Each structure stands twice: as C-alpha cells, then as structure tokens.
Amino acid sequence: MKSRSTRSGGGSQARQAPRAPGGAAEEPIARLAPQVVPRIAVLGAGGFIGSHLVPALLARPGAGAIDAVDMCLDKLDTRSPLVRRIEARLDAPGLLDDLTARCEVIISLTALCNPALYNTRPLDVIDANYTDLVPLVKLCASRGKRLIHLSTCEVYGRMALDSAGHAMTHMDEDETSLCLGPVHKERWSYAAAKQLLERVIWAHGQHAGLQFTLVRPFNVIGPRMDFIPGVDGEGIPRVLASFVHALLTGDDLILVDGGKQRRSFLCVDEFVDALVRIVDRPLACQGQILNLGNPQNDVTIRTLGRALIAAYRARRPDGPPPRMRPVAASKYYGVGYDDSIVRIPSIAKAERLLDWHPRVRLPAMLPRIIDDYITRYEPLLAALPTGKAVGVGGASR
C-alpha cells in the first residue's frame, strides 16, 4: 500500500520540536560537551549488547566507575578496576536499592527478547519486561537518578500507521501509532509488556520528575549475539544465531513463512556508539524516545540467510552447500504466533540529537560475525557426541 504519510525515514526536514516531559523543547545539542558521569549501572551487562556497551563506556575520556550486573558475565571480557562485576538476578533482595543509591545513571538492557518465548512462556516474558522493572522506575524517580531504558521496535506492532490509521513508510517515535495483534496472538505479549513499561516511564517523567530516555532498537546484530543450542543455551535463538547454528552444523536454514519478513539490521558497534552519545547528552535526550536502526539495511530474512551463507562459504568453502527450507510459523513457533512484515525506522531524531549517522551495510557486518561464531563454537560443536549438534534454523526477530 502506498503511504499517505509524508514522514521520511532518514531525512533532515525541519519540523517543530516536540515537547519533552516538563514542557522544554528539544535543543539542537550536538554542540554540547559530553558530561562526565561518576558512576553508571548497566543492567544486563553480560548479554549481547551489554558486553559491547561496557567497554565502550570505559573508553570514553574521563569515564567513571561502572556497576556491571547480570546473572552471568562470561561474555563481558574486561577486568578494568573501574568495573564492579555483580552476578545476580534483578530481583535479588536489596540489589536495585543498592544500585540506585550508588549510581547516578541506570542503563537498563535486561529483557526476555526471544520470539520463541513470546507465545510459549508469556507470563515469564511479561514479568521480565514489565513487572520486574517497575520497582526500578519508581526508585529512579524517587531518588532523582537518570534512567536510560531499552525498549523495542516491536512496540510499533504489525505495521506503521499514523493516528488516523493511514500507512506510513517509516516508524516514527512521535507520529506512529502502536498497533498490536489480538490478545490470543500471544506473540505480542513482549511488545505489550514493553509498551506498558514505556508508558509507566513516561508518566513518571511527566508527573514524578523522572529523568529518562527510551530507546527503541531495530534489529541490532553482531558478535556474541545469543547462544548456540546444546552448547551454551537451549531452545531457539534469534534469527542470526539460528542461521549461523545451521551453518556450523550442516543443517538447513529455516525460513519462517518463507523468510518474506523485512528487517532493518544495525551493526552493534554503531548501536553502542549511539548509546554512549545518549549517556553524554543528558539535556538533549531528557524525556525523549529514540529509534536506533539503519533504514539502509532493510532486507528480507531470506536475503539475510543468503548473505550469511556467502560469508560462511568464504571462510569454509569446502563444506556441502548450505540450504534454506521454508516452514510455516505455526509449525515452527506454535499456536499464538504472529508477526510484522516490515519494520523501517525513522532515525531523523537520533541523527539530529546525537549527531549520529549509521553507515555500515549488512554485507560488511557479516564476516566479523561469522569469524566470531566459528572461533567460539566450532571446536565446541565438534566435541559434542554424534547427533547432539544438530539444531534448527531461523526466526524473524
């Protein structure tokens, strides 16, 4: 359908600056000097994003101390004396109270963000992405601490629609409605929980003085993403790890519903660069919702699979040619699964406020990713007993 919206994804067209909580207009802040933060807490520091973010924060001039929190910190390869490593669940008694007492900025990365869980463990998904984080929001508001929270592009739902229900070409933070599927389509449990927490954070900003920035990532990929089933996790990881797992084991790359879904992939290094800029621009980003993605990398999941095959074959040319195989979503994910077909972000606000412009194209991202998975997992998969290394292919997160 042709869009009836005049919104543009990556343009720099002038428009009236939206008002942040408290009524202050956005500033054109690229000129502001970075702020030195004495102490930052990174929740989810041992995950994919966190393991890249903590070293980037440490590399800033004048970087302060960091509390790195996760249930497992194996992926976080730093022993800097500035980092306090805390291996604990978020609901550990006294943990959030201690963190919000010690730290001035809280970066919340924690989530259950795997599509295979949305309609199979929806109660866990809702608790992890909403219930368990409400106390953090309240503590940050009551203690005057700044909260940078990672939400998700999934809050936009099935498609980009404006307030009148007209199709938009890009998903815009301030103009696009949030259109989720019906309740019995439990895939939307994740998006609904994330959206409700966004509204709780926004309300605390409007009515309780919370300093916050909400980030909506669009399909960030890179080294150390997710897990390999049977090695360091169980179940179905997101699409990148699912496809690479299939390549490493000689299995088919599974295309859910033929892989026609489109996603806009962003390099993790550029995503982390944007997060660091958010940390260093508190006035610019106060009360803002920011899309972080790369609309130039809008491709189908099938195209991603082909590109990964090419990158893998360049490293392992002597193996059997990998194959792709379509599977119905209902068979792969089960009853209650639903999906969006196209997600293209408008990043005009992030470009303006952060002086940030993602440039890495998908083919340039993949060799480093393939090398990382080969280095970390190929020896481990080879050591598994016969038959234990076989897994399943792709997803559409």
Count CA atoms within 13 Å of residue 347 on its CB side.
Answer: 24
Note if 190 is an active site residue: yes
* Residue-wise DSSP of 295-327: GGGEEEHHHHHHHHHHHHHHH-TTSPPP-EEEE
DSSP 108: E
Q: 146: which 2 tokens?
A: 């700044």
- Of the candidates 118, 156, 190, 337, the residue annotated as catalytic is 190
Residue 266's beta-bridge partner residues?
220
Number of other CB atoms surrounding residue 104 within 10 Å? 18
7-45 in b/e form (b: 16+ CB < 10 A) is bebbeeeeeeeeebbeeeebeebeeeeeeebeebbbbbb
Q: Report in angstroms the alpha-carbon separations of 230 from 70, 83, 252, 256, 294.
A: 21, 31, 17, 21, 32
How many residues are listed for the chain in this entry?
Answer: 397
Question: Are residues 86 and 153 in contact, defined by beta-carbon separation less than 8 angstroms?
Answer: no
Residues 81 and 87: their CA atoms lie apart, in Å, by: 16
CB 148 within 8 A of CB 213: yes
Helix (H) or strand (E) holding 95: helix 95-102
Phi-psi region of 317 (alpha: psi -120 to 50; beta: other; left: phi over 0): alpha
At 8 the three-state DSSP class reads: coil
Burial 67-81 (b: 16+ CB within 10 A, else e): bbbbeebebbeeeee
Helix axes 48-58, 268-279, angle to 10 degrees: 50
H-type helices in 144-238, by residue range? 189-207
The token pair that represents 252 in the structure block: 């088919």
Any idea which residues carry the catalytic annotation?
190
